[in-house]
Chain A
Amino acid sequence: MEGRPLDEQELVEQARGGDARAYEVLVRRYQDLAFRTAWVIAGGADAEDAAQEGFVKAWYALPRFRAGSPFRPWLLAIVANEARNRRRSGRRQDDLALRVAEDRPSGDAAPSPEAAALAGEQRRLLLAAVSRLAEPDRQVIACRYFLELSEAEMAAALGCRRGTVKSRLSRALGRLRAALAEQGAGAAASATGLPGGDR
């Protein structure tokens, strides 16, 4: 793309005016986010379907989009809704079905192979603990830390009020902490400073 990339508002305005090319740029820009959000909510095979359907519905709903308001939460609400509906009609997603990369050593300084292996193991344990949380807890944690959504975006993706996002996250973190403690992962947790079995 030559020149500066069009900013979001310009693209949304053009798309609202019926410019499918502008919309395609928006889809390309947010497809990672939409797909991953759908993945967190619906998981597996439904995620692609939900994200695609969400983008199509968002296009038809664009006339209703309030000009000047942020596009991402609006889009996420539609995509997440699609994802939830697919998940409801299908089986419940059992875990996040995500994996931890094997190739990244831990920390900034070059660690010993043993330390790297240990750190990798700790991440896997933490991911496993997140995966075992109840669905609402898992989703709020994934939205915040794995998708790095803002509060408004989390509210949109989770279909809850913005005011409740913080408390919901805090409760989920509490339960994750308890689960880690229960896991008897004191050893694993303490090595990274994870509050595990210190209560």
Chain B
Amino acid sequence: MSRRELDLEAALADLAADLRFPPTPDLAAAVTARLEEGPARNPARRRPPARRWPAWMAGWRRLAVAGLAVLLLAAAVLVASPGTREAVARRLGLRGIGVRVGGPPPPTVTTAPGARLDLGLGERVTLGEARRRAAFPVLVPTAAGFDRPDAVFVNGAVPPGGRVDLVYRARPGLPASSFTDAGLLITEFRGQPEPEFLKKVTGAGMVRSVTVGGEPGFFFSGEPHFFSYQDTTGQFREEQTRLAGNTLIWQRGDLTLRLEGDLPMAEAVRIAESMR
């Protein structure tokens, strides 16, 4: 390191000693109060899914609004593969899901803190009904324990061509996501190059390139993500309360699939590959 650099660094360090930040508010008290008043989603004592189920189902139904796209943001350190972040950004992305690494997301408006998760899931139907209504063959995992989703939703409007969501309750071996309360959420739709239905903007976070049944995919992990949505007016709505766990996105023919759950990569891929 050159002398000039050292001088400038010394001057900055000297300045730092004199710098006055505004006084730190009493965050500990505020945070503790919020944890006490909030849903008792204590990491060690998760609410039994049976009790939790009706509340979040109602929330999803209530909020099943057409015209939403999901923007995924991730925090943390990008450990993705060689090359620059820009190179990674160019390489990522599947039909209907854009992945951008770094850079600012589109302008957002913020929903009220505490607002319930809105996945735009659509209408709850039986699996048979979903198969009749979807414009594509609905895939379901054949892996033991996953062949019968606990709930199935159809949304015919968004994205074009519609989507189907399979939801699995948390259970032993399938921990509840701290964020969705569900054990597993699988979304499938026929991805078009344009428009993007899902956008994943990751400032960082661990992104791994994977192969699912011989087709390309990506596994996002390492840090919580959170969602925001694009409504019919094209505005992105930031969902402050929604954090997402590990997420696998992959391609299967002309279908694009997304699997979110508190699962390690190998398990996520195993379930994904079992889908028929």
- Look across to chain A and name the residue whose beta carbon is closest to the beta carbon of B84: A164
Considering the chains assembled together, what is the distance between the CA atoms of A194 and B109 in angstroms? 43
The residue among A60, A194, A195 with the most chain B CB atoms within 10 A of its own CB is A60
A126–B10 CA distance with the chains assembled, in angstroms = 12
**Among candidates A55, A101, A152, residue contacting B27 with C-beta atoms closer than 8 Å:** A55
Q: How large is the interface on B (under 10, 10 to 19, 20 to 34, 35 or more residues)?
A: 35 or more
A35 touches B12 (CB 8 A): no
Is B224 a contact partner of A78 (Cβ separation < 8 A)? Answer: yes
A144 to B194 Cα, complex, angstroms: 41
Assuming the A-B contacts A52-B34, A60-B43, are A104 and B17 also in contact, with contact meaning beta carbons closer than 8 angstroms in the complex? yes
Residue among A28, A81, A155, A162 having the largest count of chain B Cβ atoms under 10 Å: A81
Tell me if A's interface is mostly helix, strand, loop or mixed: helix
Nearest B residue to A14, CB-CB: B44
Q: Which of B31, B45, B203 makes the CB contact (< 8 A) with A159?
A: B203
Count contacts on A: residues with CB < 8 A to the other chain. Answer: 72
CA distance A77 to B6 in the complex (A): 28
Name the residue on B nearest A147 (C-beta).
Answer: B16
The reply to whether A126 and B31 contact each other, CB–CB distance below 8 Å, is: no
**Counting chain A CB atoms within 10 Å of each CB, which of B107, B204, B243, B245 scores highest?**
B204
Whether A173 lies near B28 (C-beta < 8 A) is no
Is the C-beta of A53 less than 8 angstroms from some C-beta in chain B? Answer: yes
Task: Decide yes or no whether B130 CB sits under 8 A from chain A.
Answer: no
Contacts A35-B27, A48-B27, A145-B15; A18 near B44 (Cβ below 8 A): yes
Enumerate chain B interface residues (CB-CB to A < 8 A): 4-5, 7-22, 24-28, 30-32, 34-36, 38, 41-45, 73, 75-79, 85, 102, 104-105, 107-110, 113, 175, 178-179, 203-204, 223-224, 238, 240, 243, 245, 262
